Structure 1
Amino acid sequence: MAIVITLDYPLIQTYMVHSALLVVKLLALSPMAAMTWVRKGVFSNPDIVRRAYLSELKNLAPFWLVGALYVTTTPPSDIGISLFRMFTAARMIVILGYASKPVPEVFTDFGLILSYLITCYMSMYVIYYYRNAI
């Protein structure tokens, strides 16, 4: 079975764009937190920043790996694109909760759960697709 993946494939393009957006979000975490603390007159709490980075790294690393594997299964583009968009939106909501608390905690929790479930779904899809290799 030969899998041909080109950069013209919309799912690949979406994966690349959303991966880059998530990297920018990760890099923007410190300045976002600093601006919030300065605006509120609160001095930096390194523990909050550390927890936010760890949360992001624990969720983004598996997403990037599984997302790259997922696109090799040539899933329906509309489903794959929707999954990448929902994951990115969920992680944006989570980081807003960490950085400045403008969103209710229930939304942050929903973002955490949704991003986790999307990564799990893509993982299971990849395992099922390549099940004969086990």
Structure 2
Amino acid sequence: MAQLADSEVFRAFATYAVIVLVKMMAMSLVTAYYRLTRKVFINPEDAAAHSKGGDPKKYIRTDQDVERVRRCHLNDIENLIPFLGVGLLYALSNPELSAALLHFRIFTASRLLHTVAYLTPLPQPSRALTFVAGYLVTLSMAFFTMRSLLYL
């Protein structure tokens, strides 16, 4: 563990991993905000708690804005899990610090910009480009990790 803590690449990975994880966690709060402000719930007990004596069934529905936030959050989950796994293995494969920082920074920026593009919403292809950038970074790290393993 001490070797990992001394590794600049691992510390960089950990820093950017925490940034994107906190951003993903924030999406839960954004979803809750949208649900509460629009009185849109999926569970009967939540609808009943917020119906103030009215018919709770009218609050069990979908809303376009709530669904947009949920899809953005799901997209984060789909992309962060591979980044965390591949990024950890990449960080452990002893890459050059400058290359590792480039990978981690591009991925982090792409996810932050993806959220802005998704929630604003910005016209396409802005969201698609930010998604592809992050996806390609993860593939690049996977490639370099596999290459380093094959040349041990």
User: Which TM class, normalised by the smaller chain length?
Assistant: 0.7 to 0.9
Aligned-residue offset at 1:64: 0.2
Residue by residue over 1:90-120, the C-alpha shift from the partner in whole angstroms, topping out at 9 and shown as x without a partner, is 000111122232x443332211011000000
Instruction: Verify the 8 A CA contact 2:9 2:101 in the aligned structure 1.
Output: yes
Query: 1:36: Cα distance to partner?
Result: 7.3
Give the CA RMSD over aligned residues.
2.7
**2:94 maps to which residue?**
74
In the TM superposition, residue 11 of structure 1 has moved relative to its aligned partner by 1.4
Query: Where does the alignment leave 5 or more consecutive residues of structure 1 unmatched?
Result: none
Displacement of 1:88: 0.1
Q: Is the 8 A contact 2:17 2:84 kept in 1?
A: yes
Q: Provide the residue aligned with 1:16 in structure 2.
A: 14
Shift of 1:121: 0.6
Greater Cα radius of gyration, structure 1 or 2: 2
TM-score, normalised by the number of residues in structure 2 = 0.71
Which structure 1 residue ranges, 4+ long, deviate > 6 Å from structure 2? 36-39
Match of 1:83 in 2: 103
Report % sequence identity: 24
Q: 1:24 to 1:78 in 2, by over 3 A?
A: same
- Structure with bigger RCO (C-alpha 8 Å, 6+ apart): 1
Deviation, 1:65, is 0.3
Give 1:72 shift. Answer: 1.3
Q: Which residue of 2 aligns with 1:54?
A: 74
Query: TM-score scaled by structure 1?
Result: 0.80
Deviation at 1:75, TM superposition (A): 0.8
